[in-house]
Amino acid sequence: MAHALAAPTLPTGDAGRSTAVGNARWEGEGQRWRLVLAGDWAGDAELPKPPAELKVAAGTQLTFDSSALSHWQPAFAAALWQALAPLARAGVALDLAGLPRGLQPLLALSLPQPETAPKNTAAADEPAPEPEWRKTLVFIGEMLAAVGRLLRGRSAMRLSDWLWQIEQTGPRSLPIVLLVSTLVGLIVAYMGAEQLQRFGAQSFIANLVTIGVVREIAALVVGIVLAGRVGAAFAAQIGSMRAGEEIDALTTLGVDPVEHLVLPRMLALLVTGPLLTLCAGVAGLLVGGAVAVFLYDVPARAYLTTTAEALAGWDLFVGLLKGSVYAVLVALAGCRQGLNAGRSAQAVGEATTAAVVQAIVWMVIAASLLTVIFQRLGI
C-alpha cells in the first residue's frame, strides 16, 4: 500500500510527552500533537485514547505520521474514526495529509463538524443573502464565458439539444404569435385609419401600419408571448431540476449546467426570435391591408406600393434586431430564475413568476434604450 508523506517530527523527551500503545502513539505538547501509526493493522484495531495533556478544544492541532504503516483494513478506519470524531466535534484542527491516501477522503467526509457555534444563533449572525443584482451579474458572466468557449470550439453543448429547443420555442410558439399579432395589427390599423380619415389621409394607413407594426409592435408582441410561454417554461424546467438535485448531479459529473441547459435555450431563441418577429410583422401588414382596402377604400396597389417604400428603410432591420434582443432577454431571465430557484415546489412557482416579470421589465428597458439610440443615430 502506498504511504503518504510523514508529518514533521515534533520534539519529545524533555520538550514533550509521549504515550504509546501497540503500534500507535500520541506525541506532542500544548496545542501541537501528532498521532504516529506503524506496523500491520490487518486484524482488529484498537487505538490508544488521547493523553490527558491533549486539550480537546478549538486551537489544538493534530497531525499524523503513517510512514511506518505497512497495512490496514476497514476495521482500522473505523477505529481511527472513533478516536478522531470527539476531537473533530470539539474543534481540534485535524491535518489528514499524513494518513494513507485511501483514508484521507473517507475521514474528511465522515468526521463531524466542530460544534463551535451555539445552537440558538441570532438572526443577525447569519450571513446576509446574496443580492439579486449580484446573482444576475454572475449568471451573465457565466453565460458570456460559455459563449466564448462555444466560439473557440471548446463547448460541451450538444447540437441535438439546440435543435430540440428550436423546435420547442419556434414552431410551437408560432400559432399564438400569429393570433396576437393579427389582433394587435387590426387594432392599430383600425384606430389609426379612424384618425387619418378625419383629414382625408387614408392613403397613409400603409405607412402607419408598416412603421408601427414592423418596427415596434411585432417585436414587442413576440417578446411578451415568449416571456409568458417560453420564459416561464425555462424557469419551471430548470427550477424543477434544481429542486430535484439534478443540477447538482450534473456539476458532480463535471458537466457545466450553463453549457448544458442555458446555452442551447438562449441560442434557440436567438434563432427563432427574429423569425417569429418577421412572421408577426407579415401578419400585422396583411390585416392592416385588409382594413385599409375593405373598410376605407384604399386601392390595394397603392397600399402595396406604400408598404414597399416604407420597408425600403431601416424599419425592418430595427424590428428584427429588437425581436432578437427581446428573445435573448427572455431566455436569460427564464434560465437565471430557474438556476437560482429554491428546492421546493413553492420556490419553483415563485421563480416561474419572477422570470415572466423580469423578462417583461428587461424588455421595456431595452425598448426604451434602443429607441433612444436609434433616434440619435437617425435610423
Helix (H, G, I), strand (E, B) or coil at 170: coil
Please give the biggest Cα pair distance in the chain: 113
Helix (H, G, I), strand (E, B) or coil at 211: helix
Helix (H, G, I), strand (E, B) or coil at 255: coil
How high is the pLDDT of residue 122?
Answer: 43
Query: pTM (2 decimals)?
Result: 0.64
- CATH (one of 2.60.90, 3.30.750, 1.10.3470, 2.60.120) for 13-110: 3.30.750
d(CA 209, CA 116): 70
How high is the pLDDT of residue 2?
Answer: 36
Q: What kind and span of H or E run contains 96?
A: none
d(CA 176, CA 83): 67
Shortest CA distance to 229 belongs to which of 289, 273, 284? 273
Q: What kind and span of H or E run contains 108?
A: helix 104-110
What are the residue boundaries of the structural domains of the chain, listed by start?
13-110, 132-377
Shortest CA distance to 84 belongs to which of 8, 22, 19, 26? 26
d(CA 16, CA 34): 11
How high is the pLDDT of residue 129?
Answer: 63
Mean per-residue pLDDT of the chain: 82
Q: Which residues lie below 8 Å from residue 256, measured CB to CB, with a gap of 6+?
A: 146, 156, 250
Spans of the chain, pLDDT less than 70 = 1-22, 42-45, 115-130
d(CA 74, CA 86): 19
Phi, psi of 43 (to 5 degrees): -95, -155
How high is the pLDDT of residue 44?
Answer: 66
